[in-house]
Amino acid sequence: MDKNILEVKNLKKYFPVRKMGKKQYVKAVDDLNFSIREGEIFGVLGESGCGKSTLGRVINRLDFEQSGDITFLNNVISGKSYKSDKNFRKKMQMIFQNPYDSFDPKMLIYKSIELPMKINDVNSDAGSRINEIVETMNKAKLTPAESLLTRYPHELSGGQLQRISIIRSMLLKPKFIIADECVSMLDVSVRAGVLNLLLTFQEELNSAMLFITHDISVATYICNRIMVLYAGKIMEIAESKDILDNPLHPYTRALVSYSPIISKEEKKRFRITGEVVTPIDPPPGCRFASRCPMAKDICKKEEPILKEIGKNRKAACHFV
Ligand SMILES: Nc1ncnc2c1ncn2[C@@H]1O[C@H](COP(=O)(O)OP(=O)(O)OP(=O)(O)O)[C@@H](O)[C@H]1O
Ligand SMILES: [Mg+2]
């Protein structure tokens, strides 16, 4: 039996906002239940604002949940701050969209990589740290390593810096990685290289990964399973190939229809219109109902539960 590395139960994260003088809540992450197995790449897919980053930040303890439980490596991590817990930080690493935001602009690249190794007691002496950093840089085809390591972040390209941020995380040998849109800011020509680097390390360390993206092609290429989110709610969870070959939820179908391999006729059939909704004190019923081509009366009244449909598959729709 595969073991779970992460379990999320009834997780909620609401943000208070003022709308016409009244306090309301953006229900950014609303009652999510899922688990991730050791070594698994688990995708989180959905349009802008559906709660992907919020979910990643709460799991990584950069933000706090409203309620719910998160269990990581058999420890309950919800309800606690891990701000300066180096043991936790070493085990769970996060890679962000913009690499320039995750480096100190005034610190040499070499120092930026070495510091977390030092704090987390990876290699006890400076000499062996240098060796490992240079070796890993060479493996990532970031050469000549010495020249790149003695520069500042702004003296590197986005692709180079993102590779370095991946290296910096991987040198800590994390058990779990959260990658939040880690290639969406980069030039198309370097994306595949950066993704492959991430996958090489992930495989080598057998780390599990929460892979956040709005791009269905990237998600199905990389992930073992995919969770589709819409306005803070899970619409469907399935293995990647099922998501692509046989999407069940009307929202997943719409996302799949954006994929370049889908025929024109199918694109037309599943296309959705309208804007993504922001879940501010959302009305009852299915959050996707206002844009769903299949919606009936019941969808606006009753929220569909996420139900098991076959092996390794769940969907939340009255008509699936
Ligand atoms: N600090 C905050 N205060 C108020 N609302 C917030 C805050 N952070 C996020 N939100 C809201 O929560 C919802 C989810 O935001 P989130 O950033 O998680 O979405 P996302 O799926 O990562 O989007 P994107 O694809 O654009 O990165 C949005 O409606 C957003 O406006
Ligand atoms: Mg985001």
Q: Where are the domains of the chain?
A: 4-315
- Residue 26 pLDDT exceeds 80: yes
Ligand 1 close to Cβ of residue 49 (< 6 A) = yes
Q: What pLDDT sits at residue 37?
A: 97
Average pLDDT over residues 82-110: 94
> What does DSSP say about strands 307-308 and 41-45: parallel, antiparallel, or unpaired?
unpaired
- Residue 260 pLDDT exceeds 80: no
Task: State the chain's mean pLDDT as an integer.
Answer: 93
- SS3 category, 77: coil
- Residue 296 pLDDT exceeds 80: yes
Nearest ligand 1 atom to the CA of 97 is 27
User: ∠ CA(230), CA(212), CA(274), 5° rounding?
Assistant: 30
- Residue 112 pLDDT exceeds 70: yes
Ligand 1 close to Cβ of residue 60 (< 6 A) = no
Rounded-to-integer distance, Cα 181 and Cα 53, Å: 9
Rounded-to-integer distance, Cα 200 and Cα 181, Å: 18
Nearest CA to ligand 1 atom 25: 48
pLDDT band for position 259 (cuts 50, 70, 90):
confident
Most confident of 20-24, 116-120, 173-177, 270-274: 173-177
- Residue 63 pLDDT exceeds 90: yes
Contact of 204 with 169, CB cutoff 8 Å:
no
Q: What pLDDT sits at residue 21?
A: 87
Contact of 123 with 133, CB cutoff 8 Å:
no
Q: What pLDDT sits at residue 315?
A: 98
Nearest ligand 1 atom to the CA of 51 is 18
Ligand 1 close to Cβ of residue 54 (< 6 A) = yes
Contact of 229 with 235, CB cutoff 8 Å:
yes
Nearest ligand 1 atom to the CA of 29 is 14
Tokens of 163: 């590779």
Q: How far is the CA of 63 from the centre of ligand 1 (A)?
A: 12
Percentage above 90 pLDDT, the chain: 83
Q: What pLDDT sits at residue 19?
A: 81
Average pLDDT over residues 162-172: 97
- Residue 165 pLDDT exceeds 60: yes
Ligand 1 close to Cβ of residue 26 (< 6 A) = yes
- Give the residue ranges of DSSP H helices in the chain: 52-59, 86-91, 109-119, 126-139, 145-149, 158-170, 188-205, 216-222, 240-245, 250-257, 264-270, 297-301
Average pLDDT over residues 249-276: 80
Q: In what order do the strands lie in the sheet with 307-308?
A: 92-95, 176-180, 208-213, 41-45, 225-230, 233-239, 314-315, 307-308
CATH superfamily, domain 4-315, is: P-loop containing nucleotide triphosphate hydrolases (3.40.50.300)
Q: What pLDDT sits at residue 102?
A: 94
Ligand 1 close to Cβ of residue 212 (< 6 A) = no
Q: What pLDDT sits at residue 166?
A: 97
Average pLDDT over residues 269-284: 82
Q: How far is the CA of 1 from the centre of ligand 1 (A)?
A: 36
- The amino acid present at 296, given as its one-letter code, is K
Q: What pLDDT sits at residue 1?
A: 55
Q: What pLDDT sits at residue 257?
A: 86
Q: Among 268, 235, 232, which Cα is nearest to 252's?
A: 235
Ligand 1 close to Cβ of residue 53 (< 6 A) = yes
- Residue 267 pLDDT exceeds 80: no
Contact of 156 with 148, CB cutoff 8 Å:
yes
Is residue 162 classed exposed, middle or buried when 0-12, 13-18 and 19+ CB atoms within 10 A define those classes? buried
Bond preceding residue 144 cis, omega within 30 of 0: yes
Average pLDDT over residues 149-158: 97
Compute CA distances 248 → 82, 149, 313, whole Å.
38, 48, 10
Average pLDDT over residues 147-155: 97
Type and span of the H or E element at 182: none
- SS3 category, 228: strand
pLDDT band for position 274 (cuts 50, 70, 90):
confident
Average pLDDT over residues 141-150: 94
